[in-house]
Structure 1
Amino acid sequence: MGTKAQVLLVVALLTGQSQAADLVNAREHQAFWLWSGVKASADLKNAQTVYLHQGEVLTRSGEVIFQRLGLPVSRLTFPTIWLTVRFTTLDVPEAIPARIVHLMQRWQKTGNQVIGLQVDFDAATHQLADYAVFLRQLRQQLPPEFALGVTGLLDWAKTGDIDTLNALPVDELVVQSYQGRHTVDNYAHYLPALQRLRIPFKLGLVQNGSWDAQDDAQLRTSAWYRGTVVFMLKQPGR
């Protein structure tokens, strides 16, 4: 093999290694979303925290209901869990939070360490103040032993009112860097704005999506950064 061919081969190998390193390898992370319909796999063997999708609050035939989804209540091997509920409306009758609290207590009584409730709601950036009102009301309905967390959008810290964001009555914010099954193309452009957060936050990644170790190093300069959460995808044939 000639010198030029050898150089090209080395470049190709290095490029391939770089691309492989940029993919989100679930085995290298410790926190995961396990959505309904997605089975736990060996990729979660190092899991310390799992966010279990347990249902959705939605409007059906003009009535707001809680649709139960996800794993049945059982004893899991994960050290800690959050229960994640997807909200499509904030006009929620009091009976629904009470039902969710009961579900959390059942998971706790089965021997699981339940940290709290994570609300998954795509609040528009300009409506964060209204979202904060809803979260304060919800917080009052949670027993004190349970934390309250939310998922968030990349745009919240970049174009939203940072004071309103930092005043959200939550114990944790997980900012999603993906849409659907794919990483947002320019997600890295939003990361510097996260440095202005003064509430505990994590960055949500998608399995097999894009991720750069340098981005993680940048975020770790913030005292409020708590690491990553990987959204696990349903694998073909499973």
Structure 2
Amino acid sequence: MRGDFSGWRVLAAESTTRGDLIDASPRLDLLARSGKPVVAVLRLNGSRPPPSADIVAHRIDEIGAAWRAAGVPLAGIEIDHDCATAQLEAYADLLAQLRTRLPVGLTLSITALPTWIGAPALTRVLGRVDASVLQVHAIAAPRAGAGETGLFDAAQAQRWIDAYARIAPAPFRVALPAYGLRVGYDDEGTAVAVEGEMPRAIEAQRTRELRVDPRTVSTLLRKLERARPPLLAGIVWFRLPGEDDRRAWSTTTLHAVIAGADLKPGFGVRVQTASDGAADIVLGNRGTFDAPPSASVEIAANACAAADALAGFRIEKSAAGWRFFPTTDTILRAGHEWRIGWMRCASIDRESVNESP
């Protein structure tokens, strides 16, 4: 998977509502081992004024010294500050001060919002940095009933990219989504809580899973390949797959999107027999597309003493044996498996273990 990427952008620190900069504690040993250039990202809270230039510059110095001492091939610093358009002049002043104090050999870049396009002060902001990353996902708070466009709208993203390409004075990248969110809404349909890569309890009137369809992102990528803006330097993916991050795309799906491969699930079932005579029913996705399981899984078996489904599935008796039905639309990531139930039978015809469409 590492061959798909030319480098890493890694969160190094982020500011709190009090204006403090908190260390994100990334694994420097892994970054050093990869040998690829790394850009350290400082995320500054956009709902309040950023820390002073002195505070940010001091933290950049600390990051540069510590990361380089750990063997990380640090190439640049990126400021991620989602400020209001009205604050762009002040942001440009901050960047100007940081640029004069940047450690030798490091570039300075920013994350840019499409809502800034057209603002006169954006020219000053972009003139203070070496490069930028245009974020085209999660721009507005998703409202109930807004569909998937609350997280990503490919057509709108294309319009933003085209508009940004006309004004960007230096190389830029586009940040594309490879993840989903669970959003909690109040009774007026306003988002009040979000669950991302880390599990969290959401107290809300209702919740909804928002997903970015990899096929729409792949289509946008192919369009950019056919008509690439002259200063488009590449793509930044947010966020990379993690075993504990069940809302991020699988490694298999992300690789397929980058490669332009066909995206389709490939569900299959296997029976795993235990020493006590019971058998686990395991559903796997052997395709390239993260997707919910389809209609049912049927197991042909004889003389069954007991059988049951596990969380996310229900079980019914069938003419051949037993049938398992999904009860949620939870995604089964490509390359992953679920234990969906168990059976204790005199025999299970493995050749007839299959998934019904």
TM-score by length of 2: 0.48
Equivalent residue runs for 1:73-222 within 5 Å: 73-74=28-29, 75-88=32-45, 89-92=49-52, 94-157=54-117, 159-161=118-120, 164=123, 167-179=126-138, 182-184=151-153, 186-196=156-166, 197-207=168-178, 209=212, 210-211=216-217, 212=220, 213-218=222-227, 220-222=228-230
Higher strand share: 2
Q: Give the Å deviation of 1:145.
A: 1.4
Write the deviation string for residues 19-48 of structure 1: whole angstroms up to 9, x where unpaired: xxxxxxxxxxxxxxxxxxxxxxxx434321
Q: Distance in 2 between matches of 1:145 and 1:168?
A: 19
Query: For the structure 1 residues 161 and 110, does the alpha-carbon distance in structure 2 shift closer, same or farther, using more than 3 Å as the test?
Result: same
Any stretches of 5+ residues in structure 2 without a counterpart?
A: 140-149, 180-211, 246-357
Task: State the alpha-carbon separation in 1 of the partners of residues 169 and 24 from structure 2.
Answer: 33
Unpaired runs of 5+ residues, structure 1, are 1-42
% identical aligned pairs: 22
CA contact (8 A) 1:81 1:112 kept: yes
Cα distance in 1 for partners of 2:79, 2:92 equals 12
Corresponding residue for residue 235 of structure 2:
228
CA contact under 8 A between 1:177 and 1:183: conserved in structure 2?
yes
| Distance in 2 separating the partners of 1:100 and 1:216 | 35
1:34 corresponds to: none
Q: Offset of 1:76 from its aligned partner?
A: 3.0
Contact between 1:202 and 1:226, CA under 8 Å: does it hold in 2? yes
Shift of 1:148: 0.7
- C-alpha displacement at 1:163, in angstroms? 6.6
**Structure 1 residue 72: Cα displacement:** 3.7
Q: Distance in 2 between matches of 1:234 and 1:138?
A: 32
Quickly say closer, same or farther: Cα 1:133–1:225, change in 2 above 3 A.
same
In structure 1, how many angstroms separate the alpha carbons of the residues matched to 2:52 and 2:125? 24
CA distance in 2, matches of 1:90, 1:184: 29
For 1:50, give the aligned amino acid: W
Higher relative contact order (CA 8 A, sep 6+): 1
d(CA) in 2 for partners of 1:84, 1:216: 27
Pair 1:72–1:236, CA change in 2 (3 A): closer
Q: Secondary structure at the match of 2:34?
A: coil
SS of the residue 1:76 aligns to: helix
Which structure's residues are more often helix, by fraction?
A: 1
The Cα of 1:177 is off from its aligned counterpart by 1.0
State how many pairs are aligned.
Answer: 190
The CA distance in 1 between the partners of 2:35 and 2:232, in whole Å, is 22
Residue aligning to 2:17: 59
Matches of 1:129 and 1:77 in 2, distance apart?
A: 38
Superposition deviation, residue 165 in structure 1:
5.0
Give the distance between the partners of 2:41 and 2:178, measured in 1 at CA: 18
Within 1, Cα distance between the matches of 2:59 and 2:122?
32
CA distance in 2 between counterparts of 1:91 and 1:237 reads 32
* Superposition deviation, residue 84 in structure 1: 0.6
2:95 is aligned with what amino acid?
A: L
Name which one, 1 or 2, has greater alpha-carbon Rg.
2
User: Does the residue aligned with 1:179 lie in a helix, a strand or coil?
Assistant: coil
